[in-house]
Structure 1
């Protein structure tokens, strides 16, 4: 969500890879080359560990992707959406307007034309102009490292509520860095059932699965 440029602190352990112009991954029997641009777009234009862990989880096949409709929120470089598409999903890959052109360049560079035909890249600012999307029209909602700015939580929840039906599976991959991250999960639990389905200790990344609570009908 936040397009925040940072100074190049390459001396800090673990951060130097974020300043590389590209990163290479192997998922879904494809080599994926992701272009990065930290100086211009900040956190929106680098691959975070949460995205890599979520891609690995998707590749394990716990969630059926073939023929499903999916939407990725705050896609950044587009790695998760690209992998979901390669695994058979029809994917709408979204981020804020300043990141869309960069995002689309990665998608076009890494998806064969037949996969691109069922993949859409478009602007989505959480909580705004949601009527451009089908209400409750997705089987899967994906988000990697999108839970970190407290001021965005209400709009993120509004967006998840709009995009989801009772059949929709939401997968959120994130680190729990601060108390506010736990607060978001509590907010999410007010309208969704939430469970942790995976934890990667090496990267300290959690994956949470959420589904909209069923509305009880009056007798």
Structure 2
């Protein structure tokens, strides 16, 4: 069941404190589909954006353009906006009201800009290739894997840093999806695993990977 597009009454708030002491208030649903809650892989990703390693490796986010695919609650994109990026958070139509609520709830903290937009993976969109393309824990359903790769490819050029987090899952089905995703993405992208010791000191886990990809 997806998040209802016209009813946000079932929300509760999760707080996430950034290193600069900003406290994001992220609305999520008590019940719903995978995009309704804050996942651990998103927390690891959002925390990595604030590390010295990120700054040294990819530069500042201030003034940079960011597109996030499958934003869900939007915590990764919202963190980027606090750090000065101009962020477009995207997801299926049903999730856009939740994204808009979280943008509004946290807009006073943003040094950059943020807005939400419907984007269905694999479909043509008129979005310019950003400086950064973020994806968090989106390798989940078989039917969405190829459309996800299509959108990543369409929204990237050789200057785009594609950064993805995902939680490794041990079922054969999920392992097969992981293999399928990387087989497809490596046709057009160079793929680097960001070593665990480069992650945030607190928000890290051996089960959660951060991947950096650039177009060949």
Task: Give the TM-score band, short-chain normalised.
Answer: 0.7 to 0.9
**Who is 1:195 aligned against?**
192
1:57 lines up with 2:48 in the alignment: yes
Residue 49 of structure 1 contacts residue 203 of structure 1 at CA under 8 Å; is this kept in 2? no
Residue 28 of structure 1 contacts residue 83 of structure 1 at CA under 8 Å; is this kept in 2? no
Deviation at 1:3, TM superposition (A): 3.5
Give me the CA root mean square deviation.
2.3
Distance 1:128 1:28, change over 3 A: farther
| TM-score, normalised relative to structure 1 | 0.81
**Who is 1:185 aligned against?**
182
Distance 1:98 1:79, change over 3 A: same
**Who is 2:71 aligned against?**
75
Name which of 122, 126, 133 aligns with 2:127.
133
**Which residues in structure 2 correspond to 1:168-179 (within 5 Å)?**
168-177=160-169, 178-179=175-176
**Who is 2:7 aligned against?**
none
Q: Structure 2: 5+ residue runs without aligned partners? A: 5-9, 170-174
Number of residues of Structure 1 aligned to a counterpart in Structure 2: 194
Distance 1:32 1:166, change over 3 A: same
Deviation at 1:35, TM superposition (A): 1.1
**Who is 1:212 aligned against?**
215
Q: Structure 1 CA distance, aligned partners of 2:110 and 2:84? A: 11
Deviation at 1:114, TM superposition (A): 6.3
Deviation at 1:113, TM superposition (A): 7.6
1:45 lines up with 2:36 in the alignment: yes
Greater relative CO (CA pairs within 8 A, separation 6+):
2
Deviation at 1:45, TM superposition (A): 1.1
Q: Structure 1: 5+ residue runs without aligned partners? A: 6-18, 214-219
Q: Structure 2 CA distance, aligned partners of 1:86 and 1:50? A: 19
**Who is 2:172 aligned against?**
none
**Who is 2:99 aligned against?**
103
